[in-house]
A = this chain, B = another copy of it.
Amino acid sequence: MLKVGIIGVGTVGTSVANILIDNKNIITARAGVEIVPTIGVVSNLDKKRDVSIKLTTNPDEVLNDESIDIVVELMGGIEKPYEIVKKALENGKAVVTANKALLAYHRYELQELASDTPFEFEAAVAGGIPIINALRDGLSANHIQSIQGIMNGTCNFMLTKMINEGASYDDILKEAQDLGYAEADPTFDVGGFDTAHKLLILGSIAYGLDIKPEDILIEGIQNIKQTDIEFAKEFEYNIKLLGIAKKVENQIELRVHPVLIPQEKMIAKVDGVMNGVSVVGDKVGETMFYGAGAGGDATASAVIANIIDIARKGKGSPMLGFEKQVGIRPTLMPKDEIKTKYYLRLEVADKSGTLAKIAKVFGDNDISIENMMQKAKKDEKANLLLTTHTCIEKDILKAIKELENSGVVLKKPAMIRIED
């Protein structure tokens, strides 16, 4: 018998305790041993919870109890769970966590601490989708060429609604908040930070990069307008918030931002609150993994898959950075050296000479235009929408600055990167 202590008994913790009981028969068969949820740590004992395990407010009742084999950390936050996970590992307990923020900052220290002890985190990325399992085992023969993930259900729900129903960002955000998909302060989701945490975990597995969220390009979906969506539709793109990890020679791009992506791409077809992660391996080609990225039972499904794995196999191989082990030491590509195509929305004065000035800025910066569309607005203004051929991020940023100061562009230009 293996005893499990759950630190943080909210939605996911409740599901973990209950599924271990509900599906005990198959879980025992698959694990080869009975797995018993024994104790839960909560901050408030008075709150009603739908679990039958003993509850306490003192984490040490789990961490210092020699009969507890596996600690499941689901409390959220960064520094407090870090101390708890550290102590659990030091006390020789296996740890399973779904805490992506913790991992975004401390994954390498914790992996190192866990030298003899299982330390697993399938549920931290894309909820119920077994994407870490796929990267680590299913695709283990491959060098990973790229990862593109829709890993935030709130953003994907909002973008899908904006595209399908033509509503504005503000209206859809309110709807998402009413439905409980978005927080009162939605910045962590809509600003791309949640996606970034998950991307860093996948990037570490594929490439062994010890990078913090502050080091990478993160942009959210707050500036997407219906004008952009109309343009996207016209040119058969969808708009998604992607976390992207891509190997370019010996450098790795890690970035989170909205993209225009061709509608026929499989990842572009992932709609609503669902998550999807596309992985391209050098041998297998493109694979895509789809499922629920959040929700108590779906996330608990991944937590328990880790527990079963630990019961069956004990300590797995180190997860973060096979490439590092074999002497391939890729580095993070500086943000402004990314090469891709760009979409720009320019609000311009609708008068002669405007286009010539704009064209000169692009020409001066070595940027060539692929598609263009002008839509007249009221008051002698127009929206000039255009896409570029592949160019370098620093060139487009310089061009945007010059456009802003050109006298013919009336507002800060909006930019969305394109993934073809």
Chain A residues in the interface with B (C-beta under 8 A): 15, 19, 23, 25-30, 32, 122, 128-130, 133-134, 137-143, 264, 266, 269-271, 274, 281-292, 295, 297-298, 300-302, 304-305, 308-309, 312-313, 317, 322-323, 325-328
Which residues of the partner chain B approach A133 to less than 8 Å between Cβ atoms?
A: 130, 133-134, 137-138
Chain B proximity of A290: nearest CB distance (Å)? 4
Q: Are A312 and B317 in contact (CB under 8 A)?
A: yes
What would be 16 A-B contacts, judged by CB atoms less than 8 Å apart?
A26-B141, A26-B142, A29-B322, A29-B325, A30-B140, A133-B137, A134-B138, A138-B305, A140-B304, A140-B305, A141-B308, A142-B301, A266-B270, A283-B301, A285-B295, A287-B291
Which residues of the partner chain B approach A122 to less than 8 Å between Cβ atoms?
A: 138
Q: How far is the CA of A142 from the CA of B27 in the complex (A)?
A: 8
Q: Are B285 and A292 in contact (CB under 8 A)?
A: yes
Chain B proximity of A307: nearest CB distance (Å)? 8
Which residues of the partner chain B approach A326 to less than 8 Å between Cβ atoms?
A: 25-26, 28-29
Which residues of the partner chain B approach A305 to less than 8 Å between Cβ atoms?
A: 137-141
Chain B proximity of A248: nearest CB distance (Å)? 18
Q: Are A322 and B30 in contact (CB under 8 A)?
A: yes
As for how many copies of this chain the complex holds, the number is 2
Chain B proximity of A156: nearest CB distance (Å)? 13
Q: How far is the CA of A289 from the CA of B130 in the complex (A)?
A: 10
Which residues of the partner chain B approach A283 to less than 8 Å between Cβ atoms?
A: 15, 19, 23, 128, 297-298, 300-301
Q: How far is the CA of A312 from the CA of B318 in the complex (A)?
A: 12
Q: How far is the CA of A134 from the CA of B302 in the complex (A)?
A: 11
Q: Are A143 and B292 in contact (CB under 8 A)?
A: no
Which residues of the partner chain B approach A19 to less than 8 Å between Cβ atoms?
A: 141, 283
Q: Are A284 and B291 in contact (CB under 8 A)?
A: yes
Q: Are A141 and B317 in contact (CB under 8 A)?
A: no
Q: Are A25 and B328 in contact (CB under 8 A)?
A: yes
Q: Are B266 and A141 in contact (CB under 8 A)?
A: no
Which residues of the partner chain B approach A264 to less than 8 Å between Cβ atoms?
A: 271
Chain B proximity of A105: nearest CB distance (Å)? 26
Known contacts A286-B291, A312-B317; 17 further A-B pairs (Cβ under 8 A): A15-B283, A26-B140, A27-B140, A29-B322, A30-B317, A128-B281, A128-B283, A130-B138, A133-B134, A140-B304, A141-B301, A142-B301, A266-B274, A284-B297, A284-B302, A285-B291, A288-B290
Which of chain B's residues has its CB closest to A129's CB?
B287
Which of chain B's residues has its CB closest to A282's CB?
B23
Q: Are B143 and A26 in contact (CB under 8 A)?
A: yes
Which residues of the partner chain B approach A286 to less than 8 Å between Cβ atoms?
A: 290-292
Which of chain B's residues has its CB closest to A321's CB?
B29
Which of chain B's residues has its CB closest to A297's CB?
B283
Q: How far is the CA of A122 from the CA of B281 in the complex (A)?
A: 17
Q: How far is the CA of A142 from the CA of B140 in the complex (A)?
A: 24
Which residues of the partner chain B approach A271 to less than 8 Å between Cβ atoms?
A: 264
Which of chain B's residues has its CB closest to A314's CB?
B313
Chain B proximity of A326: nearest CB distance (Å)? 4
Which residues of the partner chain B approach A297 to less than 8 Å between Cβ atoms?
A: 283-285
Which residues of the partner chain B approach A143 to less than 8 Å between Cβ atoms?
A: 23, 26
Which of chain B's residues has its CB closest to A328's CB?
B25
Q: Are B289 and A141 in contact (CB under 8 A)?
A: no
In the complex with contacts A137-B309, A138-B130, A290-B292 CB distance below 8 A: no
